Amino acid sequence: MAQPAADKLRLGPADIRALLAPFPGRAAATTRVAVACALTVLVTSIYGTPEAAISAYVIFFVNRADRTSSIVMSVAALVLVSLIIGMVMWLADFSIDDPLRRVACMAVVSAALLFLTSASKLRPVGAIVAMIVGFGLDELGLVPAGEIATRALLYVWLMVAIPIGVNIVVNLMLGPSPRRLATERLAHCLRTAARSLREPDGDPEALRAALHDGIQPIAGWLRLAKLEGSLRADDLPALRQVTSSTMAILLAADVARRQPGAQLPAAIAAPVATTLDAMAAMLGAGGYPVDIALAVPGIENLAPVQEAVATELLGAINRYAEPAESAPPEPADKARGSFLDADAFSNPVHVRYALKTTGAAMFCYLLYQQLNWPGIHTCFITCYLVSLGTAAETMEKLTLRLAGCLVGAVIGTAALVYIVPSLTSVGGLMLLVFAGTWISAWVAQGSPRIAYAGFQVAFAFFLCVIQGAGPGFDLTIARDRVIGVLLGNLVVYLVFTRIWPVSIAARIEAALAALVGQWHQLAEARQPDARRRHAIAAMALHGEITQDLVLAHYEPASVGPGREWVDDRRRRLAVLDAIAGPVFLLAERFPGDPEIARRLQRLRTTDMPPPTVQASGTDDVGNRNALLAIVDRRLAETAAEAPDATTSSSIHAQT
DSSP 606-625: SSSPPP-----SSHHHHHHH
Give the model confidence (pLDDT) of 365-377 as tens digits.
889 888 888 888 8
User: What is the Cα–Cα distance from 3 to 88, expressed in whole angstroms?
Assistant: 51
C-alpha to C-alpha distance for 258 and 203, rounded to whole angstroms = 12
Q: Under DSSP, is residue 151 helix (H, G, I), strand (E, B) or coil?
A: helix
pLDDT of residue 205: 81
pLDDT of residue 390 exceeding 80, the answer is no
Q: How many helices and strands, by DSSP H and E, does the chain display?
A: 24, 0
What residue type is 118 in one-letter code? S
Note whether 537 and 218 are within 8 A (CB).
no
pLDDT band at 5 (very low <50, low <70, confident <90, very high): very low
Cβ 361 vs Cβ 384: under 8 Å:
yes
Q: How many Cα atoms occupy the beta-carbon half-sphere of 5 within 13 Å?
A: 20
Q: What is the mean pLDDT of the chain?
A: 81
pLDDT band at 629 (very low <50, low <70, confident <90, very high): confident
**Helix, strand or coil for residue 120?**
strand
* Percent over 70 (pLDDT), the chain: 85
Identify which of 219, 216, 225 has the alpha carbon closest to the alpha carbon of residue 286.
225
Return the top range by mean pLDDT from 31-35, 53-57, 120-124.
Answer: 31-35
Determine the Cα–Cα distance for residues 162 and 396; give it in Å rounded to an integer.
32
Query: Which of 55-64, 137-146, 476-485 is least confident?
Result: 137-146
Write down the pLDDT at residue 271. Answer: 92
Query: CB–CB of 477/465 below 8 Å?
Result: no
Radius of gyration of the chain (CA): 27
Give the Cα separation of 430 and 439 in Å (integer).
Answer: 14
Q: Rounded mean pLDDT of 46-74?
A: 88
Burial 449-486 (b: 16+ CB within 10 A, else e): bbebbbbbbbbbbbbbbbbbbbbbeeeebbebbbbbbb
* Amino acid type, 333: D
13-22, 601-610, 639-648: the lowest-pLDDT one: 639-648
List the one residue out of 305, 295, 194, 312 whose CA is nearest residue 245. 312
Distance CA 510, CA 650 (A): 16
Cα separation of 425 and 625, whole Å? 74
7: which residues sit within 8 A by CB, 6+ positions away?
546, 549, 550
**H/E run at residue 441:** helix 426-444
**pLDDT above 90 covers what percent of the chain?**
17
Q: Hey, what amino acid is at 491?
A: V
Task: Indicate if the pLDDT at residue 215 is higher than 90.
Answer: no
Secondary element (H or E) of residue 101? helix 99-119
With residues binned 3-state (H G I as helix, E B as strand, rest as coil), the percentages for the chain, rounded to 5, are 70, 0, 25
Q: How far is CA 224 from the centre of its chain?
A: 18
Q: Which amino acid makes up residue 592?
A: G
Q: How far apart are CA 119 and CA 354, in angstroms?
A: 10
Is this structure's pTM higher than 0.75?
yes
Amino acid letter, residue 338: S
How does pLDDT run across 471-506, given as a tens digit for each residue?
A: 656 678 778 877 888 898 889 888 888 888 888 888
Q: What is the pLDDT of residue 652?
A: 38
DSSP state of 340: B
Whole-number Cα distances in Å, 289 to 56, 221, 387, 487: 42, 19, 46, 56
Q: What is the C-alpha to C-alpha distance for residues 55 and 38, in angstroms, rounded to an integer?
A: 11
Residue 168 CA from chain centroid, whole number: 22
**Cα separation of 645 and 633, whole Å?**
16
**DSSP letters along 372-420, please?**
T-GGGTHHHHHHHHH--SSHHHHHHHHHHHHHHHHHHHHHHHHHHHHTG
CA-wise closest residue to 60 among 122, 114, 128, 110: 128
pLDDT tens digits along 498-544? 888 888 888 888 888 899 888 889 888 888 888 889 999 999 899 88
- Rounded to whole angstroms, the Cα distance separating 478 from 53 reads 11
* Beta-carbon count within 10 A of 265 CB: 12
C-alpha 396/C-alpha 394 separation (Å) is 6
Whether residue 323 contacts residue 241, with contact meaning beta carbons closer than 8 Å, is answered with: yes
Residues 568-597 pLDDT 10s: 888 888 888 888 888 888 888 888 878 888
Q: Dihedrals φ, ψ of 433, to 5°?
A: -65, -40
pLDDT digits (tens, 9 = 90+) for 639-650: 555 434 333 333
What was the pLDDT predicted at 11? Answer: 61
Question: What pLDDT was estimated at residue 250?
Answer: 93
Residue 458 has pLDDT above 80, yes or no: yes
- What is the per-residue pLDDT for 81? 80
CA distances in angstroms from 453 to 26, 443, 484, 567, listed in the order given = 16, 7, 17, 27
136-140, 238-242, 452-456, 548-552 — most confident range: 238-242
Please provide residue 615's backbone torsions phi and psi, each rounded to the nearest 5 degrees. -70, 155
The predicted pLDDT at position 608 comes to: 42
How many angstroms separate the CA atoms of 243 and 256, rounded? 20
The domains located in the chain, with CATH, are: 23-176+347-498 (no CATH), 178-330 (no CATH), 505-641 (1.20.120)
H or E stretch covering 133: helix 126-140
Give the residue among 515, 525, 586 at the shortest CA–CA distance from 546. 515
Per-residue pLDDT, 168: 94
d(CA 274, CA 276): 5
How long a stretch of residues is the chain? 655
